[in-house]
């Protein structure tokens, strides 16, 4: 993914989802919004990840699932 000047294009949430093998919504909510994978927010749901940061994250073997926050609601109050 290099352009004419040798700079790599930033990855979108869709690109990361394809690389990770997960849905885009899961990537946004569990990796990008929580900060498990360092990304820049361009506005709305538009996120960009630097390819070098993604490669480092992947090399470290981080899946992102342990960074997921509890959804709250009924589960946070306990099961009755």
pLDDT one-digit tens code per residue, 59-69: 887 655 554 44
Contacts of 12 (CB under 8 A, 6+ apart): 46, 47, 48, 49
pLDDT in tens, 25-54: 999 998 999 888 999 998 887 999 999 999
Would you say domain 1-56 falls under CATH 2.60.40?
no
CA dist., res. 51 & res. 1, Å (int): 9
How far, CA to CA in Å, does 8 sit from each of 4, 5, 19, 31, 64?
10, 9, 16, 21, 24
Asked whether residue 14 carries a pLDDT value surpassing 80, the answer given is yes
Nearest C-alpha neighbor of 13 from the set 36, 45, 35, 44? 45
Could you state, in order of their start, the residue ranges of all structural domains in the chain? 1-56
Asked whether residue 24 carries a pLDDT value surpassing 50, the answer given is yes
Asked whether residue 18 carries a pLDDT value surpassing 90, the answer given is yes
Contacts 24+ apart (CB under 8 A), 41-44: none
pTM of this structure: 0.69
């Amino acid at each position: 993914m290099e352009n004419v000047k040798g700079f790599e294009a930033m990855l979108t949430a869709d690109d990361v989802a394809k690389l990770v093998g997960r849905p885009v919504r899961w990537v946004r909510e569990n990796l990008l919004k929580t900060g498990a994978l360092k990304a820049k927010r361009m506005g709305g749901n538009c996120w960009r990840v630097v390819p070098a940061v993604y490669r480092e994250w992947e090399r470290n073997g981080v899946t992102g699932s342990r960074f997921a926050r509890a959804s709250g609601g009924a589960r946070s109050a306990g099961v009755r």
